[in-house]
């Protein structure tokens, strides 16, 4: 998507959040004030996804809420297939409305717990303010392609050890390690976010031999 088209899409999305945030109880007033920053973070997610998995990746966004970062990813990467997984009905209704209003043919809204999702082969899993990275890996392991990148925001001063992530991904106990002591085939990328914290991407090998539904 060209920069002007992306900007127009982002502005349209922000307008929808502002219009419906009270009616559908989407975000607090404080959260609404932080919307520009969250959208900017979503664009960082999209750039990192394109870097590690390409512009046509299948992305599962866990606990999409009002669509952050999932809707922004779908806007920025129109060739990607983006599954927005959200259990709460009001937010699911908003996500469906936003996808229709913004013309996001690459979005599928899933109104269910991510553990119940089937038939999707995720090149990338994203989550923001849902759970710690290891829990996200554990909840979505049945959807992982080989490889799968799991992206999440990590708070400043957050736990640095990734041992729990490797356990959740089934990568502990195989006796195989690669460079820098990581499990064979694993990789960790981390980029700073404003004003604090970082975006972490973990590459997990050995996912399910699944077929993409995209």
Cβ(189)–Cβ(180) below 8 Å = no
Alpha-carbon distance of 73 to 156, in angstroms, equals: 23
Return the pLDDT at 175: 47
Question: Global pTM?
Answer: 0.89
Domains of the chain: 3-204 (3.40.50.150)
Alpha-carbon distance of 31 to 7, in angstroms, equals: 21
Return the pLDDT at 172: 60
Return the pLDDT at 140: 94
Return the pLDDT at 2: 74
> Could you read off the pLDDT tens digit of each residue along the chain, which spans 214 residues?
677 789 999 999 999 999 999 999 899 888 899 999 999 999 999 999 999 999 999 999 999 999 999 999 999 999 999 999 999 999 999 999 999 999 999 999 999 999 999 999 999 999 987 888 889 999 999 999 999 999 998 765 554 567 778 777 777 644 454 445 678 778 889 888 887 788 999 999 877 656 544 4
Looking up tokens 């664009």 gives 43
CA triple 53-117-67, angle to 5 deg: 60
């Amino acid at each position: 998507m060209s920069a002007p088209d992306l900007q127009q899409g982002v502005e349209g999305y922000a307008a929808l959040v502002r219009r419906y945030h009270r009616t559908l109880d989407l975000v607090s007033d404080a959260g609404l004030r932080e919307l520009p920053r969250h959208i900017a973070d979503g664009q960082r997610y999209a750039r990192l996804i394109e870097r590690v998995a390409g512009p046509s990746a299948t992305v599962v966004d866990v606990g999409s809420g009002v669509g952050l970062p999932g809707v922004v990813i779908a806007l920025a990467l129109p060739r990607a297939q983006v599954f927005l997984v959200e259990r709460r009905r009001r937010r699911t209704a908003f996500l469906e409305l936003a996808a229709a209003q913004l013309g996001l043919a690459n979005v599928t809204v899933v109104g269910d717990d991510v553990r119940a999702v089937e038939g999707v082969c995720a090149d990338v899993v994203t989550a923001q303010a849902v759970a710690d990275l290891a829990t996200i890996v554990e909840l979505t392991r049945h959807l992982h392609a080989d490889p799968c990148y799991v992206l999440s925001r990590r708070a400043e001063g957050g736990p640095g050890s990734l041992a729990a992530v490797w356990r959740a991904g089934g990568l502990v106990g195989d006796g195989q390690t690669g460079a820098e002591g990581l499990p064979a085939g694993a990789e960790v990328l981390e980029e700073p976010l404003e004003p604090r914290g970082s975006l972490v991407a973990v590459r997990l090998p050995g996912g399910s031999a699944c077929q993409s539904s995209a």
